[in-house]
Chain A
């Protein structure tokens, strides 16, 4: 039972890592039905920005909490600018064209960003210092969960609540829902669709940056390629939960995390990926739109 609890908590921690990235995926998809493959790269860029700025601030003798705050805020800003620009350059000109074009464009952006960081920064693995606090009261339970995992879990929960609130109860959220339902109709009734989509990308990229800082702090390392592996898993989680649905992305991520952890713990880690994809196939066979996905008629 104790072993099960450990594995369950490890799965929960893993799920919240996936969820941090999956939330951004699902949000963009929910609004413009585009799988933004560059999302994983924005996450990586967020991590790199925090690494560079954090090192700079820290060597200037700032206190740790200020280093953390400043580097997180600035990397959010930088990643948001990236998201905004990518949408404007690579996706907006293709809006209204066949969906496959935008998808290919997204893959292209992803490769460009990876190589940009590879050339501009380094191909090596870099140590990622953790500026996150260590909770001493958690020390007796260190075998179950550590401070960073708890912080990631908490941040994921806060972000999920924030996004749900944003989409359900604010004016921007209303405009987003309108755009998601019918872009032309929304335009006719006076919604600035371009602005709404830009805001969506800015929020999505900010989330990716937060994820980048937290997850890299947890792993203790960073490299130009980390966005790809994490991005694929987060994408699977988003599809599992019903892509486009905010709570769905979180639920899907937890299910994926639990499956992988329990599968590893009781069977073998050799088949970790196999468990994840078997679950995906089974759920999609039963509910083709994912667990919390609404069945929507295909829009033209």
Chain B
């Protein structure tokens, strides 16, 4: 008796599976998109906002009837920002036959997963992995990102001082710290590639009461501009001592100086100082709308990289639509050749996969406030 029931149950189950499989086969196939990143663990707060962003964008597009008549379906995988879990997540997404992946979140996990996606020809767009070689090495033609790489700031500063300010001979100073020195070294490298002479490259002691010796040295080197890699306390002392000695050459610095405390402390000496910092999206209408959607659907303020992930998903879906198919090569070409309006601005991707139209901007202190230079 018992055995009969068991058999019956097994048949019933098998029947159900066949039946459901058959049903799926009749409906139009969905376009599957993977979303991978840290959704549990210490860094979950970096990954979960991207899942919400993808859900919102996909829901909007499905409400409008999907892409090319096909609905979009999300497949969500957690990697906890750990490379070993990222490879598992990637394998699962590959076997789920996703067309593209939004993710991963951390640079290390992204790098681990990218090889797998590359072999399976899956486009990957990260909202947050900033490690420069991911795009610049050229190793991963399937990789794109909607965030500026770590060296973008230095590149922007170098291009600004050569192309906009037309400086020929500069001094580069830094505070010997990881952040400041890293920025200074990259600015030096890119400026030299642009044909600018870097006649002075030196570290100074942060916190020292007096920088008049190094300021004299700058004066003696007859440069037309000074680049500072570091934070605002030293920047305000340097600028003050330079201006006191009658040196009114441009002073260009980084995100560590683009802080209102700098203007408060340096006062009138802050006027005219240039600093690079992340592009401001707070006035972008699409960004405001996306944040509103999030509040309505999930009841909370969105978290880290929400807008980046929102833009990534939009760019991806737009590319699939423009490509007219889910073919890998066509999607890659469409991503690079089309501009999309997103919460980050009017964006596209360059040949290496880095975002165009969003990243860092140059600001200048005008009348006691940082003003973005367009």
Q: Which residues of A contact B (CB under 8 A)?
A: 3, 6-7, 10-11, 13-14, 17, 124-127, 142-143, 146, 149, 215, 218-221, 223, 225-226, 229-230, 233, 260-262, 264-265, 268-270, 272-273
B213's partner among A124, A223, A261, A273 (CB-CB below 8 A) is A261
Closest to A264 in B: B213
Q: Which residues of A contact B205 (CB under 8 A)?
A: 229, 269, 272-273
- CA–CA, A16 and B121, complex, Å: 68
User: Which residue of A is nearest B176, CB measured?
Assistant: A270
Q: Given A215-B209, A272-B205 in contact, is the A220-B219 Cβ separation under 8 Å?
A: no
CB closest chain-B residue, reference A272: B205
Q: How far is the CA of A195 from the CA of B264 in the complex (A)?
A: 44
> In the complex, which residue of chain B has the Cβ closest to the Cβ of A149?
B212
Alpha-carbon separation in the docked complex, A17 to B237 (Å): 15
> Is the Cβ of A220 less than 8 Å from the Cβ of B267?
yes
> Are A230 and B267 in contact, CB atoms less than 8 angstroms apart?
no
Query: Could you tell me the distance in whole angstroms from the C-beta of A91 to the nearest C-beta in chain B?
Result: 27
A269–B219 CB distance below 8 A: no
Alpha-carbon distance A143/B247, docked complex (angstroms): 9
Q: Which of B112-120, B136-144, B238-246, B336-344 interfaces with chain A? A: B238-246
- Cα A117 to Cα B176 in complex, Å, equals 27
Residues of chain B touching chain A, judged by Cβ–Cβ distance below 8 Å, are: 176, 202-205, 207-210, 212-217, 219-220, 232-233, 236-237, 240, 244-246, 261, 264-267, 269
- Least CB separation from B208: chain A residue: A229
Residue contact B210 to A223, C-beta cutoff 8 Å: no
Q: When A142-B245, A221-B237, A223-B233 are in contact, do A126 and B265 touch as well, CB less than 8 Å? A: yes
- A-B pairs, top 5 by smallest CB distance, nearest first, are A261-B213, A10-B212, A264-B213, A229-B207, A127-B265
When chains A and B are docked, how far (Å) is the Cα of A266 from the Cα of B330? 59
Enumerate chain A residues within 8 angstroms of B232, measured Cβ to Cβ: 125
Chain B residue with minimal CB distance to A221?
B265
Chain B residues closer than 8 Å to A265, beta-carbon distance: 213, 216-217, 220
Please give, as numbers and ranges, the residues of chain A lying within 8 Å of B244 by CB-CB distance. Answer: 142, 146
Residue in B210, B216, B236 whose beta carbon sits within 8 Å of that of A221 in the complex: B236
Say yes or no: A269-B246 contact (C-beta < 8 A), given A219-B237, A264-B213, A264-B214: no
CA distance A13 to B213 in the complex (A): 10
**Chain A contacts for B267, CB-based, 8 A:** 127, 220
Docked pose: A265 CA to B269 CA in angstroms? 24
5 more contacts with CB within 8 A, not counting A14-B212, A146-B244, A272-B205, are A17-B209, A125-B232, A225-B207, A233-B208, A269-B202
Complex: A126 Cα to B202 Cα, angstroms = 27
The binding surface of chain B is classed by DSSP as helix
Which residues of chain B are within 8 angstroms of A220 by Cβ–Cβ distance?
A: 236-237, 240, 265-267, 269
Which of A14, A229, A272 meets B204, CB within 8 Å?
A272
Of all chain A residues, the one with the shortest Cβ separation from B263 is: A127
CA distance A229 to B246 in the complex (A): 28
Residues of A within 8 A of B237 (CB): 219-221
A146 CA to B212 CA, complexed, in Å: 10
Majority-rule SS of A interface residues: helix
Q: How far is the CB of B85 from chain A (nearest CB, A)?
A: 38
A-B contact count (CB 8 A): 95
Instruction: Determine which of A125, A127, A142, A269 lies in contact with B214 in the assembled complex, contact meaning CB atoms within 8 Å.
Output: A269
Complex: how many Å from CA A215 to CA B220? 25
What separation, in Å, do the CA atoms of A114 and B217 have in the docked complex? 34
Q: With A and B bound together, what is the CA distance between A13 and B211 in angstroms? A: 11
Least CB distance from B140 to A in Å reads: 37
- B residues within 8 A CB of A270? 176, 202-203
Chain A nearest CB, measured from B195 CB (Å): 25
Of the A-B pairs whose beta carbons lie under 8 Å apart in the complex, a sample of 27, sorted by A's number, is: A6-B216, A10-B213, A10-B216, A11-B213, A13-B212, A14-B210, A14-B212, A14-B213, A125-B261, A126-B265, A127-B265, A127-B266, A127-B267, A142-B245, A143-B219, A143-B246, A219-B209, A219-B210, A219-B237, A220-B236, A220-B269, A223-B233, A265-B213, A269-B205, A270-B203, A272-B204, A272-B205
Shortest CB distance B178–A (Å): 16
With A226-B207, A269-B204 in contact, is A3–B213 under 8 Å at CB? Answer: no
| A225 partner residues in chain B, CB cutoff 8 A | 207
Instruction: State A268–B207 Cα separation when bound (angstroms).
Output: 18
Give Cα A146 to B242, complex, Å. Answer: 12
Q: Which residues of B contact A215 (CB under 8 A)?
A: 209
Q: Give A170 Cβ to nearest chain B Cβ, in Å.
A: 32
Name the CB-closest residue of A to B243. Answer: A142
Per the bound structure, the CA–CA distance linking A11 and B210 in Å amounts to 10
For the complex, give the distance between the alpha carbons of A272 and B237 in Å. Answer: 17
CB distance from B347 to the nearest CB of A (A): 36
Residue from B213, B217, B245 having most chain A Cβ neighbours under 10 A: B213
Contact A125 B210 (CB under 8 A): no
B207–A127 CB distance below 8 A: no
Q: Is the CB of B209 within 8 A of A264?
A: no
- Whole-angstrom distance between the alpha carbons of A221 and B269 in the complex? 13
How many angstroms from the CA of A17 to the CA of B245 in the assembled complex?
Answer: 19
B265 contacts across to A, CB distance below 8 A: 125-127, 220-221
Residues on B with C-beta less than 8 A from A218 are 209-210
Q: Write the nearest CB–CB distance from B273 to chain A, whole angstroms.
A: 14
- Please give, as numbers and ranges, the residues of chain A lying within 8 Å of B217 by CB-CB distance: 7, 264-265, 269
